[in-house]
Structure 1
Amino acid sequence: MIRLPAPKLALALAGLVLPLTLAACGGGKDRPKADLAASKITTIGVNSYLWRASLDTLSFMPLVQTDSNGGVIVTDWYINPAAPTERVKVTVMILDQDLRADGLRVSALREVNQGGQWVAAPVKAATVQKLEDAILTRARDLRRGSVAG
């Protein structure tokens, strides 16, 4: 392993990064304009509108895991103050780089407190569907906002 002093290391890194940065910027007159709000966003591993919308929609729940490259968001158990005897845990998986309804999968677990014990309970299918719809609506709004702005 070669160890370089900090100033030389910085120069070596700049020598690697600068040409790559300049190559990415190069554009001529005949180059088409990039659509900033294109449905395919690849700066992270998944569609950034779906990612941001998922985080926004689940912002009231504590998060256990977020992986923007793999497109996974896992919440911790959330107890609604209006219903303290039940709790919910949600997992969101973004499956595609395109902004598409089938590029999103939401699953939920629900438990109810029975005599001090948390017991698994069914989740209404409508609950998962409402979460998916909320995320997709938010993603479309974010996309529209970037087109208008």
Structure 2
Amino acid sequence: MTNTGMKGARSAAAALAFAAILGLTACGPSTSNFPGQPTGKGGPNNPTGEQQRESIFGEDGLKLFGGGSSGDDQGSGIGVNSFLWRASLDTIAFMPLASADPFGGVIITDWYQDPKTPGERFKVTVYILDRRLRADGVKVAVFRQTRAENGTGEWVDAAVTMATPMQIENAILVRARQLRISTIEATESR
């Protein structure tokens, strides 16, 4: 290699090393101030006494097995009211579960066919809408299908009476109330 070629290779290596050092120093802590960021040493990842660190689990954090007694009807630290959640699972326990999301408050069953009525099947979706035990904290959607009469045996969507989802909602609320009362009685007897 000639003398000029070696100088070119050295300057290319020096430029590459300089770029690497410049890139690594850019990854260091920032002293910039952004709107909503307190001045001084704190930042979103290093909070000061002025600013609390934000969490994806909310102000109280994640509580899986209960927690402090805040005096409300929240139950455990799942995303919805624990009494409504448990009551929903108890009420539709005879149906096979397809999905259950305790943080989003959605329970979806698979199709259930009652042995007494082989020509129809049902599917239920329960939405728990609140962290408090309230009458409007649960919503139920019921889907019904019947066998086609054309002899193909295919399932066809069918209408559901408006009373059916309301009856399931009422059963869930009654069971949630029973669970809450039994929890209160258990804590008072200690």
Task: Quote the Cα distance in structure 2 between the aligned partners of 1:96 and 1:72.
Answer: 12
Match of 2:69 among 34, 42, 60: 34
| 2:133 counterpart residue number | 99
- Output the TM-score relative to the length of structure 2: 0.58
SS of 2:125's partner is strand
| 1:19 counterpart residue number | none
| 1:60 counterpart residue number | 94
Question: How many Å apart are 1:42 and its aligned residue?
Answer: 4.7
Alignment of 1:3-82 (within 5 A): 34=69, 38-82=72-116
CA contact under 8 A between 1:42 and 1:97: conserved in structure 2?
no
Question: How many Å apart are 1:41 and its aligned residue?
Answer: 2.7
Match of 2:157 among 103, 120, 129: 120
| 1:137 counterpart residue number | 174
| 2:184 counterpart residue number | 147
Task: Quote the Cα distance in structure 2 between the aligned partners of 1:82 and 1:99.
Answer: 35
Question: How many Å apart are 1:141 and its aligned residue?
Answer: 0.3
Query: What is the root-mean-square deviation of aligned Cα atoms in Å?
Result: 1.5
Task: Quote the Cα distance in structure 2 between the aligned partners of 1:78 and 1:106.
Answer: 16
| 1:87 counterpart residue number | 121
SS of 2:118's partner is coil
Question: How many Å apart are 1:101 and its aligned residue?
Answer: 1.1
Task: Quote the Cα distance in structure 2 between the aligned partners of 1:51 and 1:40.
Answer: 11
Deviates most, 70-79 or 38-47: 38-47
Question: How many Å apart are 1:35 and its aligned residue?
Answer: 6.7
SS of 1:110's partner is strand
Task: Quote the Cα distance in structure 2 between the aligned partners of 1:146 and 1:70.
Answer: 24
Structure with greater proportional helix content: 1
Unaligned runs of 5+ in 1: 1-32
- Runs of 4+ displaced beyond 6 Å: none
